[in-house]
Every structure is written in structure tokens, then in C-alpha cells.
Structure 1
Amino acid sequence: MARTIATTTAVERDALLDFVRSRHRMVLITTRADGAPQSSPVTGGVDEQGRIVISSYPERAKVTNARRRPQVSVLVLSDDFNGPWVQVDGDCEVIDVPDSVEPLVEYFRSISGEHPDWDEYRQAMLDQGKSLLRVVPTRWSPVATGGFPARLAD
């Protein structure tokens, strides 16, 4: 059986955002108070301004960490674990209710499309006190796939 060769493809910002838009499984990496990394599996999307958006709660470690040190990384995975992935580094803004409600509507749309009852959704976001994290990409890795180094190809 032929071995799969690892690949890396450098992409410009527009191609990066196109890649991320169709992938919603992510790992958000923030920095704890002691400087150690904090990793959180999250669901995310891309808003109309090209920011990676992630919904959370203000009490969660990822939100606390992002408020303290807004430089974060997001590892964007494919649905197939062995599929392509990319790491995006950026500056994170945390938005809380009530200001987060309309951006959370856009977040929902970027992942799931239209909601059957937007008034109900907005009220749920207020009732839950949801926060939204918006990450402005400042740099990113090439889009990569796993596998063997080319020197080991059959």
C-alpha cells in the first residue's frame, strides 16, 4: 500500500477564510495566568468581517484567559480527523451580553444557517448570558495534512 505523504500548502487570507468557513471543529488555545497553555475544544465559524467566532460563557477559562491575554491560537480541524488542518494565531475580543446578542446571531448563521425563531434564539442568548469570542487572524500556518515525509514514499 502506498504511503500518504504529508503536505503543506501556503494560503493567502481569503483562501484561509474559505478553508475555515466549511470547518467548525476547532481547538482554542489561550494562555493561563501562569503562562501555560489552555486548550479548549470548541465549535466556531467565520463572521462577515473574516474573524473566527466562538460562543462561550463568561465564567469559562478560555474567556477569562482571552480577556487577560488576547493573543490566542485556533487549531481548525476537518471533520475527518486525518483531513487537512490549519493553525490560526490572532487577537481575540470578548463580547458579553447584551452586546453579544446580534454577533451571536451571525455566529449561528455562519455555522447552521437560519434559525426557526430568531426572537427565541436572542432571548436564549440573553438568558444564558452568552459571550462571543472574535479572533482576528494575524498569522497562520500552511494548510497541512498528516502523513509520511516525502523521502519515505513507496
Structure 2
Amino acid sequence: MARTVARADAVDHAGLLEFVRPRHQMILSTIRSDGRPQMSPVTGGVDDQGRIVISTYPARAKAANLRRTPVASVVVLSEEFTGAWVQIDGDAEVIDMPDAEDALVDYYRSIAGEHPDWDEYRAAMRLQGKSLIRITPTQWGPIATGGFPADVAARLDEQDG
């Protein structure tokens, strides 16, 4: 049985966005005040300008961290834990209400499409005082998949062979 060989496929910006758009499970990494990383599992999307968008509350650690140090990294995961993934690094901003309202509509659309009642959605976002994180990608790694290094897979296949 052939072993799965790990891959790391470099992509341009368009290829990155094509990979990310259908994937919404992410790990967001920000920088705490003491310099250590703070990571949060989040749901995210891609807006029309190619930025990663994540909804949050203004008092969350990730928002406070980004206000202080406006850079972030995001690992975008596939539905299957063993599926392809990519790390994106970028400049970040936090947008609060009332400025976040239209951006939160765009965020929702990027993940779930059209809402059955946009007035209701907007009212809920205002009531909750939601904020939006936007990350502009400045660099990214290859789209990676797990598996054996090619030489190890070949040796194991020969052994089984």
C-alpha cells in the first residue's frame, strides 16, 4: 500500500484565496503583552478585498492584543483534521460598532451566504456590540498536507513490497 507523501505547494495570492474561501475553521494567533502567542480557534472568511475576516467581541484577548500589536497569523484548516492547511501572516485591524456593522454583513456573507433577515442580523450585531477583525495577508506559507517525507514513504513501500 503506497504511503501518503507530504506536500507543500507554493501558491500566489489568487491561489491562496481560492484555497481559503471555502474553509472557515481557523486558528488565530496574536501577541500577548508579554510577547507570548495567544491562540484562538475561530470561524473566518475572506472579504471582497482578499482580507481574512473574523467576528469577535471588543473585550476578547484577541481584540486587545491586536489593538496593541496589529499583526496576526492564521492557520486555515480543512474540514478533515488531516487535510490541507496554510499559515497566513498579516497586518490586522479591529473595527468596532457602529463602523463594523456593514463589515459584519460582508463577514456573514463570506461564510454562510445570504441571511433571511438582514435587519434582524444587523440589530443582533448592534445589541451584542460585535467587532470585526480584518487581516491583510502580507505573506503565507505553502499549502501543506501531512504525510511521510517522500524518501521515507519510498523506503516503507519497498519494505512492504
Per the TM superposition, whether the score is higher than 0.5 is yes
Q: Could you tell me which residue of structure 1 aligns to residue 59 of structure 2? A: 59
1:29 and 2:41 aligned: no
* 1:69 partnered with 2:66: no
Structure 1 residue aligned with 2:101:
101
Residue 120 of structure 1: aligned partner: 120
Q: Which runs of 5 or more residues in structure 2 are unaligned?
A: none
Bigger radius of gyration among the two: 2
Partner-residue secondary structure (3-state), 2:102:
helix
SS in 2 for 1:88: strand
Q: How many residues align?
A: 154
CA RMSD of aligned residues (A): 0.5
Structure 1 position 2, deviation (Å): 2.1
Aligned counterparts of 2:81 and 2:2: Cα–Cα separation in 1: 20
Which residue of structure 1 aligns with residue 39 of structure 2? 39
| C-alpha deviation, 1:15, in angstroms | 0.6
Q: Which runs of 5+ in 1 are unaligned?
A: none
Q: CA deviation at 1:55?
A: 0.2
Query: 1:19 and 1:52 mapped to 2: Cα distance?
Result: 12
Separation (CA, whole Å) in 1 of partners of 2:9 and 2:45: 21
Aligned amino acid, residue 121 of structure 2: Y
* TM-score using structure 2 length: 0.95
In structure 2, the partner of 1:152 is 152
